Structure 1
Amino acid sequence: MRGMDINLEAFWDYYLRTSTLSQHDTRYRVITKTHRDVIEVVKLLKAGATRLDIKQRLRDKLKCKNNDEEDVLENSIDLAASLLVMCDCGVSYGCSRNTTIHWEHNSLKEFLTKLFAAKPILAAERTKFEKSFKAVNLSRIAALEVVWTDNLVDHLRLTDDDTKVHIFHHASFLETQRWSSQSLLPANLVAETIQTLALLFPSADRETRKWASKLPFVDLRVYQCGRLKADLRQIENFQIWRDRLVILKQIYDEAQPKTLRQWWHDRRNGMQWYMFWFAVLVLILTVFFGLVQGVEGALQVYASLEALSGHPNAGR
């Protein structure tokens, strides 16, 4: 992968969590109990086998057949598919946050190609991504909470009344998919997702690194996806994630600072920022000099009283 520093620790953490849950969730029975079992299904998926073909191959492995045979086979295929492409095929185990996809026919690659081929529907002619449009400012200015997701389908999705934005942070996984000849993910999906990460987490951006260091565990390569030049920050360069980016940009543009912290970080309008802080400075100086004058007045009164108390005729 062109000598890049790829670290799949975050991916393997996801892999272990998901596969372990599949073994302990009594509502979600599978026959892919071991890593070798998963790999066998993965090989079929990469070979372009249809869901029906894979199900038929797995049916022979069932030791005891019962009424839930179909569910067990479906679950086993969904588990392997989810682990392979990091798209939730129905293995969220009650996690209401995840968007699940429903692959029923054809090969997984054909299904994903069609799934991510939908055309954008929102108007975006006037949408521009300035340098300030990055994750740290979405948090500081637009008050959006960044939620890391292991589900590629949920990338850039807004939830909880548009107060949280989900971001797929597995940049190392995406890089391996970009250069793999066996990847089932559409090449344009992988490339554009990395491009959105470069937009939101520009490399060598100190603000981003300092802010992100306080966030939960994440694939650190998310901060090494590059920095987009002006010509690449145009909405026309995005197709798959365009609609979600348009909505995200609208929320960012409409956000108005409500606290001093937000006012300090919100420098989208330079003149407004300077005028606000000039007014704050004037207010602080006015209060300060008012206090100084008040203290001076009090000292003068105190000195006068002291002088009167020491006068020979005082008290007569």
Structure 2
Amino acid sequence: MEMSTSLDFDVRAVYLNDDTKYAILNTIWSSTHTARDFSNDPSIGDSYLRYYGDQCRNALHSRGFNSIIKTHADVADIVNRLKHPIMTRERLQEYLRTKVQHPSTIDDDEPLCYIIDLAVRLWLIDVGKIQHGFVPGQKPLLWKAGSLKDLVEDRFAGLVSGPSRVVTVKLDRLFTARNLERIAGLQIIWTDNISDHLRLMVDDTRIAIYHHASFLEHHENNCIFPAGFIEETLRTISLLFPQYDKESRKWFKAQQLKFSLDKKTSTSGHLTTEERQIENFVFWYDRLSILKKAFDEAEPSTLAQWWFDRRRRVQWYTFWLAAIVLTLTVLFGMVQCVEGGFQVYKAYYPS
């Protein structure tokens, strides 16, 4: 009873009280957060709740939205129906038609489809086209018919290529998100779309990284995803944001404050040398291989990149030794020029 009361608030409201926050998380994540949890850690689910609010506010501009969804309880109702194992898009669409208070305001199925896509985005994965917003790097995944489980399995099973993976690649300790930016010069795009995770974009100058580690942790036992997918995705986060790497944690904290990222991303664990073998990754094997190749082939183009790039120690020492020699040569040359000029001056003006 408390849960439904907590969710019975206008979905258009910008501010959410703690009761509504944990009610939303408990409904959508199937978690068991309490008011005490929020008093101990007010940041629980912050990045997801920001995403939730952005998606709902974006949907408010859609035709017919207000005739079906008015409160967070309405959103939760649709999400809970999505969780039913035999639910299909067609059945959910029929159910939403029964909820339309003024049928004359909706003369086609487009508003119903948009509301269904919104519920799927809030619960599971980005689907559909966002009509009044833009997500950098997003490639729309369309759910047109059938069960959501089939769609998700087809989408992520498609990441797995054939059995011709024979190249052994070691994902060494330098292969972190921080070094992708400062050594390889890749611009990191923080994405809310798990389908775009580890995708290189814009002529291989940007890399999309999914940062909602809390979401992943709460969906580890969600059977709608292919077996092992969530666990492996969490391992890619541990790979790129090693928990025991002090510099990576410091770098991510600055990113987290700037972009309102999920702070759990930097505390998702740390992979051992054996766990960093690329053969241990099934779903993300291809994208990791492409990303590692881009990282290895990236050549420093700025002094900062030359300084941070320790992938080839001999080359690094050679470059900086040459730089020091060149600097000293120029410096001594300038000193000699000044000294020569002073001597000429004294020759003309001895006193």
Aligned AA for 1:57? Y
Number of equivalent positions = 305
Task: Identify unmatched segments of 5+ residues in structure 2.
Answer: 1-30, 32-36
Aligned AA for 2:142? H
Q: Within 1, Cα distance between the matches of 2:67 and 2:299?
A: 50
Q: Within 2, Cα distance between the matches of 1:27 and 1:211?
A: 44
Q: Within 1, Cα distance between the matches of 2:67 and 2:142?
A: 17
| Structure 2 counterpart SS, 1:166 | strand
Report the CA distance shift for 1:192/1:92 in structure 2 as closer, same or farther (over 3 A).
farther
Q: Contact 1:89 / 1:103 at 8 angstroms: preserved in 2? A: yes
* Aligned position for 1:314: none
| Structure 2 counterpart SS, 1:279 | helix
Moved more, 239-248 or 30-39: 30-39
* Aligned position for 1:313: none
Larger radius of gyration: 1
Aligned AA for 2:58? L
Q: Which has the higher contact order (CA 8 A, sep 6+)?
A: 1
Matches within 5 A, 1:16-55: 16-26=53-63, 31-48=68-85, 49-55=87-93
* Aligned position for 2:248: 208
C-alpha RMSD of the superposition: 2.6
* Aligned position for 1:90: 129
Q: Within 2, Cα distance between the matches of 1:158 and 1:198?
A: 19
Q: Contact 2:239 / 2:276 at 8 angstroms: preserved in 1? A: yes
Report the CA distance shift for 1:152/1:167 in structure 2 as closer, same or farther (over 3 A).
same
Which among 279, 304, 310 is matched to residue 347 of structure 2? Answer: 304
Matches within 5 A, 1:1-12: 7-12=44-49
| Structure 2 counterpart SS, 1:60 | helix
Which among 135, 144, 161 is matched to residue 120 of structure 1? Answer: 161
* Aligned position for 1:65: 103
Q: Contact 1:139 / 1:146 at 8 angstroms: preserved in 2? A: yes
Output the TM-score relative to the length of structure 2. 0.79
Report the CA distance shift for 1:124/1:27 in structure 2 as closer, same or farther (over 3 A).
farther
Q: Contact 1:171 / 1:222 at 8 angstroms: preserved in 2? A: yes
Report the CA distance shift for 1:30/1:246 in structure 2 as closer, same or farther (over 3 A).
farther
Report the CA distance shift for 1:75/1:132 in structure 2 as closer, same or farther (over 3 A).
same
Q: Within 2, Cα distance between the matches of 1:27 and 1:278?
A: 68
Question: Is residue 190 of structure 2 the alignment partner of residue 148 of structure 1?
Answer: yes
Report the CA distance shift for 1:108/1:89 in structure 2 as closer, same or farther (over 3 A).
same
Aligned AA for 1:173? F
Q: Work out the percentage of aligned pairs sharing the same amino acid.
A: 41
Residues 195-244 of structure 1 show CA distances to partners (whole Å, capped at 9, x for unaligned) of 11111111132332333344322111111111211111111111111111
